Amino acid sequence: MPFAAGPVRLDRFLADAFPDLTRSQVKRLIDEGAVSLTGSDVKASFKLRGGEQISVVLHEPEPIEAAPEAIPLTVLYEDAALIVIDKPAGLVVHPAPGHPGGTLVNALLHHCDDLAGIGGELRPGIVHRLDKDTSGVLVASKNDQTHLALASQFKSHSIQRRYRALVHGLMKPAEGTVDQAIGRHPVHRKKMSVNCRRGRRAVTHWRVLKQYDQDRLSLVELKLETGRTHQIRVHLASLGYPVVGDPLYGQPRRDRACADVELAGLLRGLSRQFLHARLLGFEHPETGESLVFHAPMPPELQQIIDFLDRKYARDPNGPDSF
């Protein structure tokens, strides 16, 4: 692989060249001798200055087969073309290294007789995703025609998607839009960032529903135009209003530093980020009917909102959505 810029560390260059690999995976490849420079082994810290020829040997990953598993599902709607479920927090959408089973795909394979294969053997029927610790409405297709039609709606941004999040800070202004590209974080390879070399456009609209002055928290409604990895979490963190309980982009000290002792206890007991996909709307690919589905706020999130509302809610806008 030719390289014509420098100087830059070999491991950093390879991490940028192979965005699906983490820095630790790149270092392992180098340590195992899978990376060579002009035919010789080289260290991760080697400085590239341009013109070098790098050889990387990537071994085929061990195959992972998705098998049906009797995992309970909350089904909001189902017909011969598609299924809409209320995904709980903690459920990974599809198998991957580190999560070979116990996923939504495994549950769907058990629940449904047939799922579209166009998403790949490990992602049958999966048109879009929710993060592991984000709950809410998700649709899956049962045949290839439905999959293509739904994917087209997502691509054209005609899908309605509304999320609720509790964030740190009294968010100002009361409503607005983030239009910032998102790509792989330049250093932390498991994270996404707005400060990236090669990002894809991402647009998130927000509206503040309630604010809780005592502990400087805001309940926010979010509307997506695009669907990038970790989009809401990255955009909110970039504004300085991280999602409560977010282990990757959040601020754990702020989760624990609430002035209200009872609230601090509720937040410490939260094993997920406070982000919920409450609404999904789309046109049925076969009937053309406009469908809108809602998922109620999960109990572990609702009890926090109820506690905050009882003590010191302030509603800056009136309407509870947009």
Q: Distance between CA atoms of 201 and 220, rounded to whole angstroms?
A: 22
**Which has more pLDDT, 67 or 298?**
298
pLDDT band at 18 (very low <50, low <70, confident <90, very high): confident
| Cα–Cα distance list, 164 to 128, 196, 224, 283 (Å) | 18, 26, 12, 23
| Residue 315 pLDDT greater than 70, yes or no | no
The predicted pLDDT at position 3 comes to 45
The predicted pLDDT at position 117 comes to 60
Q: Note the Cα 237 to chain centre separation in Å.
A: 13
Q: Distance between CA atoms of 15 and 33, rounded to whole angstroms?
A: 16
| Rounded mean pLDDT, 128-142 | 95
Phi first, then psi, for residue 240 (nearest 5°) are 90, 15
| Rounded mean pLDDT, 91-116 | 83
Buried residues in 101-116 as b, exposed as e (16+ CB within 10 A): eebbbbbbbebbeebb
| Cα–Cα distance list, 186 to 182, 196, 197 (Å) | 11, 6, 8
| Rounded mean pLDDT, 275-287 | 97
pLDDT band at 242 (very low <50, low <70, confident <90, very high): very high
Please report the domains of the chain, with CATH numbers, ordered by start residue. 8-56 (3.10.290.10), 75-155 (3.30.2350.10), 160-312 (3.30.2350.10)
The predicted pLDDT at position 132 comes to 95
| Residue 11 pLDDT greater than 90, yes or no | no
Single out the residue of 257, 296, 258, 252 nearest to residue 271, CA to CA. Answer: 252
The percent of residues above 70 in pLDDT, for the chain, comes to 89
Find the range with the poorest average confidence among 46-60, 146-160, 242-256, 288-302.
46-60
The predicted pLDDT at position 124 comes to 67
The predicted pLDDT at position 214 comes to 82
Q: Distance between CA atoms of 312 and 224, rounded to whole angstroms?
A: 29
| Residue 225 pLDDT greater than 50, yes or no | yes
The predicted pLDDT at position 14 comes to 85
| Residue 178 pLDDT greater than 70, yes or no | yes
- Which residues are designated catalytic? 131
| Residue 62 pLDDT greater than 80, yes or no | no
| Residue 248 pLDDT greater than 60, yes or no | yes
The predicted pLDDT at position 321 comes to 64
**Which has more pLDDT, 25 or 152?**
152
The predicted pLDDT at position 116 comes to 58
**Which has more pLDDT, 236 or 262?**
236
83 bridge partner residues: 78, 140
**Which has more pLDDT, 114 or 112?**
112
The predicted pLDDT at position 57 comes to 82
**Which has more pLDDT, 303 or 319?**
303
**Which has more pLDDT, 197 or 132?**
132
